C-alpha cells in the first residue's frame, strides 16, 4: 500500500469545489492511504470526507519562521509519501516542493514539476476545469472533478428547524461574504426578505460568527447554535432541505450549489461566475457590473421562475 498526500489549505469555497477531485484520486488510488494537508479551519471538513483516510494540519507559519518550517518539513518527510497532489497550487505550496518533496512524484504548479500545468492550466480558466486538467496530466481518470457533491456534509437538522419554528418550504439567504471582500455583498437582502415574507414565504438566515450583526438587520428566522451560530454540518443540512437559496459569491453559496440545493448566486464585476464553477443544473448566477445596481425585482423574478414555491398571494 502506498501513501498519497493531497495539499488543500483553503479557502472554504475552494475546499468544497475540490470534493470531486478528491473522489477521483480515491478511485484511482484505491489501495493507498490518502492524507490531506490542510489548515485548522478545514480539518473537521476533511475528517468527515469519505475519500480521505487521515488529515494533517499545516498552521501556515510565516516562511521566515525557519524552526516551524523545519518542523513541518520533518513531519512531511517522515511520512515518505509516494505521490503529492498539490490542489492548492500557490506560491507557498510551490516552495514546499522545493524544500520537502524534490525526490517525490508531484502533481502541481511547482517549478520543476514534470506536469506543465503552469502553461496549460492557468488560474484564469474555470476552477473545476483547471483541477480536471491537473489530474488528467497526472494520469488520474477524471469522472467526478467537474461535478462535486458534498451531500455527505449534511447532518439531519429536523430538530434544529423544529425548535426554531421553521417549516417547509423555506428560502435561505446568505447575505455575507469575507470581510476582505465587501464588494461581493449585494446590499438589498433586508428589502428582499421583507418582500418574500409579504408574499407568504418563509425566510431563514444562518449567520456565521462574523455575520451576526448583519443578520439582525434582515427579517426572517435566524438559526443560532449554542455559540451563537450553527456549525458547517448543520448548515449543510439546512441548505440541503431548502426550497431555494440566494447568496453572494462566498463559500456558503458554493456549498449550497454543490450540495444540490436550487439557488441563485449574485455576482458583481469582481469575478466571473463561469470561472468559479458555481453554476450547476440546480444553481444559476446573476452577473451585473455593480451589485448596488441589481434591483430587488430582478432577483424576485429569478426566484419565482426557478423555485418550486407557492405563488405570491
Given a cut of 70, whether residue 122 has pLDDT beyond it is no
Given a cut of 60, whether residue 112 has pLDDT beyond it is no
Domain boundary among 113, 148, 183: 148
Grouping H, G, I as helix, E, B as strand and the rest as coil, residue 152 is: helix
Given a cut of 90, whether residue 170 has pLDDT beyond it is yes
Residues of the chain with pLDDT > 90, as a percent, come to: 78
Strand partners, 154: none
Domain boundary among 148, 176, 206: 148
Range 68-81 average pLDDT: 94
Condensed to tens digits (0 to 9), the pLDDT of residues 34-53 reads 999 999 999 999 999 999 99
- Is 294 a member of any domain? yes
Range 59-76 average pLDDT: 88
Q: Could you tell me if 128 and 158 lie in one domain?
A: no
Helix, strand, coil: what percent of the chain each, to 5? 40, 15, 45
- Is 85 a member of any domain? yes
pLDDT in the model for residue 110 = 58
Confidence of residue 124 (pLDDT cuts 50, 70, 90): low
- Is 313 a member of any domain? no
- CATH of residue 253's domain is 3.40.50.2000
Q: Could you tell me if 94 and 211 lie in one domain?
A: no
Q: Could you tell me if 218 and 80 lie in one domain?
A: no
Question: 13-17, 110-114, 162-166: lowest mean pLDDT where?
Answer: 110-114
**Greater confidence, 138 or 228?**
138
- CA 87 to CA 117: how far, in whole Å? 11
Given a cut of 90, whether residue 120 has pLDDT beyond it is no
Range 234-258 average pLDDT: 97
pLDDT averaged over the chain? 91
- Is 56 a member of any domain? yes
Range 208-214 average pLDDT: 88
- Domain region containing 8: 3-148
pLDDT in the model for residue 270 = 86
Q: In angstroms, what CA-CA distances link 115 with 88, 119, 135, 152, 155?
A: 15, 10, 10, 32, 39
Q: Could you tell me if 181 and 199 lie in one domain?
A: yes
Residues 24 and 143 sit within 8 Å (Cβ to Cβ): yes
Confidence of residue 313 (pLDDT cuts 50, 70, 90): low
Condensed to tens digits (0 to 9), the pLDDT of residues 268-279 reads 988 889 889 999
Distance of CA 69 to the CA centre of its chain: 27
Given a cut of 60, whether residue 234 has pLDDT beyond it is yes
Q: Could you tell me if 161 and 121 lie in one domain?
A: no
Domain count along the chain: 2
Q: Could you tell me if 10 and 96 lie in one domain?
A: yes
- CA 250 to CA 151: how far, in whole Å? 18
Strand 33-38, strand 3-7: pairing: parallel
Q: Could you tell me if 175 and 284 lie in one domain?
A: yes
Question: Cβ of 75: how many Cβ atoms within 10 Å?
Answer: 14
Domain boundary among 108, 125, 148: 148
pLDDT in the model for residue 115 = 41
Residues 282 and 257 sit within 8 Å (Cβ to Cβ): yes
Whole-prediction pTM? 0.90
Q: In angstroms, what CA-CA distances link 179 with 176, 210, 213?
A: 8, 8, 13
Given a cut of 70, whether residue 116 has pLDDT beyond it is no
pLDDT in the model for residue 304 = 94
Question: Cβ of 270: how many Cβ atoms within 10 Å?
Answer: 12
Q: Could you tell me if 112 and 246 lie in one domain?
A: no
Given a cut of 60, whether residue 291 has pLDDT beyond it is yes
Is the torsion defined by CA of 208, 209, 214, 219 positive or negative?
A: positive
- Is 312 a member of any domain? no
Range 79-83 average pLDDT: 96
Q: Could you tell me if 7 and 144 lie in one domain?
A: yes
Q: Could you tell me if 236 and 132 lie in one domain?
A: no
Given a cut of 90, whether residue 64 has pLDDT beyond it is no
Amino acid at each position: 500500500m502506498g501513501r498519497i498526500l493531497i495539499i488543500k489549505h483553503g479557502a472554504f469555497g475552494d475546499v468544497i469545489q475540490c470534493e470531486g477531485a478528491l473522489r477521483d484520486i480515491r478511485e484511482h488510488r484505491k489501495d493507498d492511504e490518502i492524507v490531506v494537508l490542510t489548515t485548522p479551519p478545514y480539518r473537521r471538513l476533511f475528517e468527515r470526507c469519505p475519500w480521505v483516510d487521515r488529515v494533517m494540519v499545516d498552521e501556515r507559519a510565516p516562511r521566515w519562521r525557519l524552526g516551524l518550517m523545519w518542523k513541518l518539513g520533518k513531519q512531511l518527510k517522515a511520512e515518505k509519501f509516494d505521490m503529492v497532489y498539490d490542489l492548492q497550487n500557490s506560491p507557498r505550496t510551490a516552495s514546499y516542493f522545493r524544500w520537502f518533496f524534490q525526490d517525490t512524484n508531484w502533481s502541481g504548479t511547482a517549478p520543476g514539476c514534470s506536469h506543465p500545468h503552469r502553461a496549460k492550466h492557468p488560474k484564469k480558466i474555470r476552477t473545476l476545469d483547471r483541477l480536471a486538467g491537473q489530474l488528467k496530466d497526472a494520469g488520474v481518470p477524471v469522472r467526478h472533478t467537474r461535478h462535486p457533491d458534498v451531500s455527505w456534509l449534511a447532518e439531519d437538522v429536523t430538530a434544529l428547524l423544529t425548535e426554531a419554528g421553521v417549516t417547509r418550504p423555506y428560502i435561505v439567504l446568505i447575505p455575507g461574504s469575507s470581510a476582505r471582500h465587501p464588494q461581493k455583498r449585494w446590499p438589498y437582502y433586508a428589502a428582499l426578505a421583507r418582500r418574500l415574507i409579504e408574499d407568504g414565504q418563509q425566510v431563514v438566515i444562518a449567520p456565521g460568527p462574523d455575520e451576526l450583526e448583519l443578520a439582525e438587520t434582515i427579517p426572517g428566522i435566524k438559526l443560532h447554535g449554542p455559540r451563537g451560530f450553527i456549525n458547517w454540518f448543520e448548515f449543510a443540512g439546512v441548505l440541503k432541505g431548502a426550497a431555494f437559496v440566494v447568496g453572494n459569491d462566498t463559500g456558503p453559496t458554493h456549498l449550497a450549489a454543490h450540495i444540490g440545493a436550487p439557488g441563485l448566486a449574485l455576482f458583481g464585476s469582481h469575478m466571473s461566475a463561469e470561472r468559479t464553477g458555481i453554476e450547476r443544473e440546480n444553481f444559476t448566477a446573476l452577473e451585473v457590473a455593480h451589485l448596488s445596481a441589481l434591483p430587488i425585482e430582478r432577483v424576485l423574478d429569478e426566484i419565482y421562475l426557478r423555485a418550486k414555491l407557492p405563488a405570491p398571494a
